[in-house]
Structure 1
Amino acid sequence: MKAINTFNGIVCPLNRANVDTDQIIPKQFLKRIERQGFGQFLFHHWRFDDDGNKREDFVMNQMQYEQAEILVSGENFGCGSSREHAPWALLDYGFRIIIAPSFADIFYNNCVKNGILAIRLTEDEVNAVMEKAKEPGYRLFVNLKEQDITDRKGFSASFDIDPYWKEMLLNGWDEIAVTLNHEDEISSYENKIAAGK
């Protein structure tokens, strides 16, 4: 998992509330067992028509957002089922940071476990970013260590994150890596058990 400390990226505004996991990655594309390859199906029914052509009216299909790595959206992002494929699809597409006023709890946890920084800002702050992101090339600068977000046009906001998730993201650890950090202690314990102590 790639660590996140400071990050800057182009912002794509998805001005929709209650975006659920079936909209993020429709169920018919959940046939893979690996984490890669889901990005091509991200927001499939919104991005493509029935013939597989890109919809001109969908924000992510606009040229100015092709390189976006930060997604900003409305409240309750990631609601619906608990499928971990949703953050896999977002990450595989290229999004490292998602900003919204609120997230579904399971989705939020799945994001940080998979290396996506999900940031809660106030509705007013999200609306301000949405408006600014209409301008081509609009970028945000995120500092996870300091827990703040800025742009070059005077916008500034701070955000909260659980210290555990913050450490995981700063170090690029998933839960397996955390376990392996205690490998010596685990081996010592197993040796004691094997020796009957």
Structure 2
Amino acid sequence: MLTVGDKLPSFDLLAVDSDSELAAQPDQAFKRVNQDSFPDKWKVLFFWPKDFTFVCPTEIRGYGDLLEAFNERDTQLIGASTDGEFVHLAWRRDHQDLKGLSFPWLADIKRELASALGILDRREGVALRATFIVDPANLIRHVSVNDHSVGRNPQETLRLLDALQSDELCPCNWHKGEPTIRF
């Protein structure tokens, strides 16, 4: 698995960026996204195992609820799974908690990005529940992986992002605005 200090691998994947009914044709909901699609921005890239599951929508909604906070930190939120773009679109339109979310979901159907990151579950063949915080130079600054049965804490991802963006020594449980460690 790639870790802190490694470069985000190159990728070029279709993403669903909207469930908007304005997209009369399904292909209007899709766009290509790569590692350089969001220049000069931090990125929070989080993978979930499968669409149409039970823990995943709670996390996706949790991240979506913090979208404004991520935007305020000049950070692009990017979701991903090994499901295809049409499955993503159907799930966004079908699941009440996922409607109206406005950040891209990558369709890593060939498992290229999940494999390059080293987060493909060997038994299941799907992505692990992994989170990467990536800086504007596409260097991985944080990685975490949860068991399939345990959801993440998007607030903790935001806290870690704040700490990384501070460029300071941050003590345990530090939050933005609190004193950092000086020596």
TM-score computed with the length of structure 2 as normaliser: 0.30
More strand by share: 2
TM-score computed with the length of structure 1 as normaliser: 0.28
